[in-house]
Amino acid sequence: MGKCRIFTNSVSDITPEIAKEFDISVIPDIIIFGDREYQTTVDIDPPKLYELLRQVDYLPTTSHPNPYIYSTCFEAASDYEEILCINVSSRMSGSLSTASLTAATMAEEGFGPKIHTYDSLQVSYGLAYQVIQAAILAKQGATAKEIIAALDQIRDKVGVYFCMRSLANAKKGGRIGEVKCLAADLMGILPVLTFRDGTVKELNLTRGFDRALKRVAKYYFDRAKKGGMVFVCHADNEPEALKMRDKILKADPDAQVRVEWIGVAIGVYTGEGAIGLIFQE
């Protein structure tokens, strides 16, 4: 087998198709509706999430993988020389800590491959962007140490910009971070948000979703490294996502734009309608 196997959390929003294309192992996160527990990417997908959310007046709870899930997934790569697990931001989740503890325990028990863990300081497709770059390098034969060095060079250059139709779910879930003016929903004022230094940050306020989308697109026009991989992600809002894709391609015809759903673990908090844009700055 190859030298290094790449793992990540399902909160990366990497779909089964992307995982297969780039040879990535995705470790499922947990989402709990009442007395029912689901593993994301295994037995619940974004369309099913929003269907369930419409039936209840509360937000489900989410949980990162436990040591048993991590160890079971790592054991499936026992014929590799190394494993690199690229985790969701440590400032938003305990995933990195649990993965690192599991790696240490497995090493003590004599597990063959050396397990490395890495803090992406990102979520969703900001995490996916880094994971895909790592997988490309792994396929070329790079070691975990070499891949980590490459990730260190791009981690702070991954731009993540997004806006939500409503802040209701983000407020309920307590995941809005430093965002101010949460009562702005009542006035039709929406923040344009970014994910930077491991947490959500507010960039500016706009009146109305259309203006917010224009602001998001402008960050691409002003800051993007042209011709690179771009993710336009949406929470059950493909029409607006396709419009955003077309704007990007008009300004940057060489951009490699992928339109994807915002995954379950993040979609709980964004609510339906959200649009995100991820690219290298």
What domains lie within the chain, and their CATH numbers? 4-155 (3.40.50.10170), 157-280 (3.30.1180.10)
Four-point Cα dihedral 268, 191, 163, 90, nearest 10: -60
The C-alpha atoms of residue 90 and residue 93 are separated, in whole angstroms, by: 5
62-72 confidence digits (pLDDT tens): 889 999 999 99
Reply yes or no on whether the pLDDT at 41 is more than 90: no
Q: Among 166-170, 197-201, 210-214, where is mean pLDDT lowest?
A: 166-170
Nearest to 228 by CA among 123, 106, 136, 146: 136
Partnered with residue 9 across adjacent β-strands are 27
Which neighbouring-strand residues pair with 115? 83
In this structure, of 75-89, 184-198, 226-240, the range with the lowest mean pLDDT score is: 184-198
**Residue 188 pLDDT exceeds 80:** no
CB count within 10 Å of CB 5 equals: 25
Give per-residue burial for 215-230: e unless 16+ CB within 10 Å, then b: bbbebbeeebeeeebb
Query: 159 versus 56: which is more confidently predicted?
Result: 159
Question: Can you tell me the mean pLDDT for 137-156?
Answer: 97
Give the rounded percent of residues in the chain with a pLDDT score beyond 70. 92
CB half-sphere exposure, 156, CA atoms < 13 A: 4
Query: 95-120, pLDDT tens digit by residue?
Result: 999 999 999 999 999 999 999 999 99
Q: What is the pLDDT of residue 187?
A: 65
